């Protein structure tokens, strides 16, 4: 036994010497950032709960979880994480609330709705925004063939983007005249996808339907009937003719192109440039009981986001995500959007370097203004049935979005040399007002009532409150 221990110890010494030798061989001309990362040391926090189980839905924007696990970022923080695919968004929400999951990849609207009065109520928090953009709206081949004559062409003779839902309006009118309902899918009532498809339709004067306190289907006065379909089932549901189009994240739009059953017509980058998408969520109770663990998790995820946006890493990310325990889609399908391009009609592949953003533009920071946009859409469409004063929006989101945890994690990462200190934004949590929307409307999160009232379709509120 002793001899075995001595041999093991000797082997460790040899490996350590070899490792030092390799480091000395490195060129002195390497970039300073690479040098900082090679010499950085992760500060070990006192972890209250090292064994963790996180959930996700099979979408490419779960990538920070997969990368944090596969590249050892969780282990660097003293965390031993299991990452488990879930069947649908409701299951994700319920399992986090019930404590079966310690945290999860989640729709940004889920923790917000849980704290704002729509659906199941719970105190949930997010210290980390998982990505920007990443969704698209796809229609069936038949619908596209009817839309296409209404779409202007660019100088190359291809459909000019972004494609407005005005091109879809005549198709919907045709369905209405023949007594058929025009049906489209989205992934969950409080999903970005629901609000994006509603925004796109309403910007062209198409009513996507309203919610009320007593009617939570969201189809009152609807010209398009929106219903829930889990993301991986979207292509099959479209192919079966149950729905005529859908809004979903990748790879399920590119899957429709790959299978030849549908055509993506607009991305959410085109609906709202660099819009927030998924978030990482834990319960307030978990964070209060395990503050260091929450910071350590956030550190690992920030590092994963940075790794994903570093040049040359997307091909490896595609290989990781294609594994069955993660997204499980073909590499060629994942690469269509993950490597800086996006394919609309088959063969119409266009450069779209920011279709998936995981770190750039402060993508990982949980901005209050991002969360308030979801609250305005919940009020616009009636999921929040009553008028709220402007300060309610600020107070509500500050209970859910936790940039204080993010900042603590980011400062530690900067001290350790994993990220530049300049990547930590100086902000009050609010982005400047923006008009980067498909309809040119201006969103100012500090004036949510005026924003709600700016739309022709949707609820209106008393701006004097």
CA distance between the termini of the chain: 77
Mean pLDDT, range 159-163, rounded to an integer = 97
pLDDT reading at 248 higher than 60:
yes
What pLDDT, on the 0 to 100 scale, is given for residue 340? 93
CA angle 64, 67, 68 (to 5 degrees): 80
pLDDT digits (tens, 9 = 90+) for 112-125: 999 998 989 999 99
pLDDT digits (tens, 9 = 90+) for 380-407: 999 999 999 999 999 999 999 999 999 9
Q: Between 366 and 462, whose confidence is greater?
A: 366
pLDDT reading at 363 higher than 90:
yes
> Measured between alpha carbons, how far is residue 207 from residues 54, 70, 377, 460 in Å?
38, 44, 14, 15
Mean pLDDT, range 185-193, rounded to an integer = 96
The overall average pLDDT reported for the chain is 92
Quote the CA–CA distance of 181 and 61 in Å, as a whole number.
32
CA atoms 184, 189, 192, 194: torsion sign: positive
pLDDT digits (tens, 9 = 90+) for 428-453: 999 999 999 999 999 999 999 999 99
Among candidate residues 448, 283, 432, 277, the one with its CA nearest the CA of residue 378: 448
**Which ranges of 204-290 does DSSP label H, i.e. alpha helix?**
234-239, 252-259, 268-271, 284-289
Mean pLDDT, range 399-426, rounded to an integer = 98
What pLDDT, on the 0 to 100 scale, is given for residue 457? 98
pLDDT band at 3 (very low <50, low <70, confident <90, very high): very low
Structural domains in the chain, CATH included, are 51-132+277-366+401-431 (3.40.190.10), 135-271 (3.40.190.10)
What pLDDT, on the 0 to 100 scale, is given for residue 186? 97
What pLDDT, on the 0 to 100 scale, is given for residue 465? 63
The SS3 of residue 425 is coil
Mean pLDDT, range 341-369, rounded to an integer = 96
pLDDT digits (tens, 9 = 90+) for 40-51: 567 789 999 999
CA atoms 431, 433, 435, 437: torsion sign: positive
Quote the CA–CA distance of 180 and 175 in Å, as a whole number.
5
Length of the chain: 465
> Measured between alpha carbons, how far is residue 85 from residues 53, 66, 80, 114 in Å?
11, 11, 17, 22
pLDDT band at 39 (very low <50, low <70, confident <90, very high): very low
pLDDT band at 209 (very low <50, low <70, confident <90, very high): very high
- Crossing angle, helix 291-309 and helix 63-70, to 10 degrees? 100
pLDDT reading at 22 higher than 50:
no
CA atoms 302, 307, 311, 317: torsion sign: negative
Tokens linked to 229 = 């379909």
pLDDT digits (tens, 9 = 90+) for 64-98: 999 999 999 999 999 999 999 999 999 999 999 99
pLDDT digits (tens, 9 = 90+) for 283-295: 999 999 999 999 9
Quote the CA–CA distance of 196 and 202 in Å, as a whole number.
10
Q: Between 35 and 446, whose confidence is greater?
A: 446
């Amino acid at each position: 036994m002793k001899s075995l221990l001595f041999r093991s110890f000797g082997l460790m010494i040899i490996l350590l010497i070899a490792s030092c030798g390799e480091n000395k061989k490195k060129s002195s001309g390497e970039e300073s950032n690479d040098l900082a990362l090679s010499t950085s040391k992760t500060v070990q926090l006192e972890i209250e709960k090292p064994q963790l189980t996180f959930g996700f839905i099979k979408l490419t924007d779960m990538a920070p979880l997969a990368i944090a696990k596969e590249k050892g970022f969780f282990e660097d923080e003293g965390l031993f994480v299991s990452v488990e695919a879930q069947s649908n968004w409701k299951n994700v929400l319920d399992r986090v609330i019930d404590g079966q999951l310690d945290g999860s990849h989640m729709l940004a609207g889920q923790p917000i709705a849980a704290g704002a009065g729509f659906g199941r109520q719970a105190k949930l928090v997010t210290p980390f925004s998982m990505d920007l953009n990443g969704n698209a709206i796809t229609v069936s081949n038949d619908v596209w063939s009817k839309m296409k004559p209404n779409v202007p062409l660019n100088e190359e003779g291809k459909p000019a983007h972004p494609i407005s839902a005005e091109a879809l309006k005549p198709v919907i009118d045709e369905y209405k005249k023949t007594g058929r309902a025009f049906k489209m899918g989205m992934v969950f009532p409080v999903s970005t996808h629901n609000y994006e498809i509603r925004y796109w339709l309403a910007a062209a004067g198409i009513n996507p339907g309203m919610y009320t306190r007593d009617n939570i289907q969201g189809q009152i006065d609807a010209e398009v009937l929106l219903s829930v379909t889990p993301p991986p089932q979207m292509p099959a549901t479209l192919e079966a003719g149950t729905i005529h189009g859908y809004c979903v994240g990748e790879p399920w739009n590119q899957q429709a192109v790959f299978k030849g059953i549908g055509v993506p017509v607009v991305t959410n980058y085109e609906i709202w440039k660099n819009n927030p998408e998924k978030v990482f969520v834990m319960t307030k109770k978990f964070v209060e009981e395990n503050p260091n663990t929450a910071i350590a998790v956030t550190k690992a995820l920030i590092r994963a986001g940075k790794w994903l946006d570093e040049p040359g890493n997307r091909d490896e990310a595609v290989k990781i995500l294609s594994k069955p325990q993660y997204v499980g889609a073909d590499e060629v399908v994942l690469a269509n959007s993950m490597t800086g391009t996006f394919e609309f009609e088959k063969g119409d592949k266009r450069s779209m370097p920011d279709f998936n953003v995981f770190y750039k533009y402060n993508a990982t920071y949980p901005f209050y203004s991002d969360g308030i946009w979801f609250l305005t859409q919940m009020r616009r469409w009636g999921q929040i049935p009553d008028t709220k004063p402007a300060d309610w929006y600020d107070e509500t989101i500050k209970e859910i979005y936790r940039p204080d945890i993010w900042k603590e994690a980011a400062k530690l990462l900067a001290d350790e040399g994993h990220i530049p200190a300049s990547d930590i934004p100086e902000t009050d949590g609010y982005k400047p007002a923006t008009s980067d929307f498909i309809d040119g409307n201006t969103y100012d999160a500090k004036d949510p009532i005026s924003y709600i009232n700016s739309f022709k379709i949707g609820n209106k509120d008393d701006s004097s409150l």
